[in-house]
Amino acid sequence: MSETKLTGDTFELYCDVVGYPTPEIQWWYAEINRADSFKQLWDGARKRRVSINTAYGANGVSVLGITRLTLEDSGTYECRASNDPKRNDLRQNPAITWIRAQATISVLQKPKINASDQIILSADTPIKPVTLQCNLTTAHTPHKESFWVKSGKEITNTRTEQRNTAYRIAKPRADDSGEYMCVYTFDMAPNANATIEVKAKPDITGHKRSENKNEGENGTLYCKSVGYPHPTWTWRKVDGTSYTDIDNSTGRFFITIRDNYTELNILNLDINTDPGIYQCNATNVIGNTAETTILRVRSNLAPLWPFLGVLAEIIILVVIIVVYEKRKTPDDIIDDDEPVGPISFFSSPSTFSTYAGKLGSSRQIRRMGSKSPCAKE
């Protein structure tokens, strides 16, 4: 596909060829308005700004790339393919033995944009507003509008038609740091931009304060931060005033790093060697920050401890009851030294009548009274 580029940019052309036997692919170039004077390109040409990567399989695929474009790179680029056995014979007509596909690359002078210098946010000084500025001084065609981008995403409500554009950060913090771009758009040309870096020391905003695991399980610790440039992450195990660096060489520790995030995975936790304090350290050109996580590793019998505690309490209670019962003296044991004599159940006839009334009718009471020695008495 034909494209229009700016000086300093990069472009790539793709060529995919199908045939049997698999065709050979070559790249050729001709200056604008000189289509009759093609010259072959090779990998490393134009002071190593040209790269050609070709792969042959069931079909042939080739990619031509040119970096740091200049105005002289404008022209017609041609992909040629042939599987004719005589394709490289100079006596043959290339127009017959080679098939061709062309694309035109137009390189325009990049507009000049005056932008603010890089800004460093310091945590040691009072927070002051920060203003980023860009000014489009020269351009090949009139621009349409401009807007601001941070880390590849457009910042809302920043579009304007002015050549001078500014973006203000009222209360800059570490998470406001990053790569900012002012982008200018044009009707008949590619967008132009300038980059302003806002740098800050890493600030770890999220980490595990503690992790509890059973022996034999896998443990995962993590840290995430804000700040720019992205930090270099390191992990350590802290033992008092000394520490041990952790890397991926042991086969049990695995460190994962993704920009402002890192993760430490420990396989098959050992109850004797793995518990302790672990530290993640984030470092960039502005400074460094560290946070710690406490890792606790429990025995596999830990889930049984509540049950064993209850069982022990039951056993102790049963033992206490048995000991108490064995030492207890019954109150109703008769002393053998006391004389045995008649036992009087009722102190008076009236007491007996009251008791007898509860047992039956008056007739039954009379019968009992006539026969009972107690009634006579």
Percentage of residues in the chain with pLDDT exceeding 90? 62
18 pLDDT band, cuts 50/70/90, is very high
Q: Which tokens in the block code for residue 300?
A: 């596999």
Provide the pLDDT for residue 251: 87
Q: Residue 180: is it exposed, middle or buried by C-beta count within 10 angstroms (0-12/13-18/19+)? A: buried
Please state the domain extents for the chain: 2-88+97-108, 112-200, 208-298
Q: Which tokens in the block code for residue 335?
A: 């002393």
Q: Which of 87-96, 318-327, 344-353 has the highest mean pLDDT?
A: 318-327
DSSP secondary structure of 294-319: EEEEE-TTGGGHHHHHHHHHHHHHHH
Report the DSSP beta bridge partners of residue 184: 146, 192
Q: Which tokens in the block code for residue 360?
A: 């039956």
224 pLDDT band, cuts 50/70/90, is very high
Taking CA 371 as the corner, what is the angle to CA 370 and CA 377, rounded to the nearest 5 degrees?
Answer: 75
pLDDT at residue 267 tops 60 = yes
Domain 112-200 fold is Immunoglobulin-like (2.60.40)
Chain segment 165-213, per-residue pLDDT in tens: 999 999 999 999 999 999 999 988 899 999 999 999 999 999 989 999 9
- Region 78-96 average pLDDT: 84
323 pLDDT band, cuts 50/70/90, is confident
Chain segment 127-154, per-residue pLDDT in tens: 789 999 999 999 888 899 999 999 889 9
Question: How far, CA to CA in Å, does 348 sit from each of 97, 252, 376?
Answer: 147, 96, 11
Of the ranges 6-15, 86-95, 242-251, 288-297, which one carries the lowest mean pLDDT score? 86-95
Domain 208-298 is classified in which CATH homologous superfamily?
A: Immunoglobulins (2.60.40.10)
- Region 232-256 average pLDDT: 91
Of the ranges 160-169, 185-194, 336-345, which one carries the lowest mean pLDDT score? 336-345
Provide the pLDDT for residue 345: 46
- Region 76-97 average pLDDT: 85
Provide the pLDDT for residue 123: 73
Select 2-88+97-108's CATH number: 1.10.3720.10, 2.60.40.10, 2.60.120.260, 3.10.580.10.
Answer: 2.60.40.10
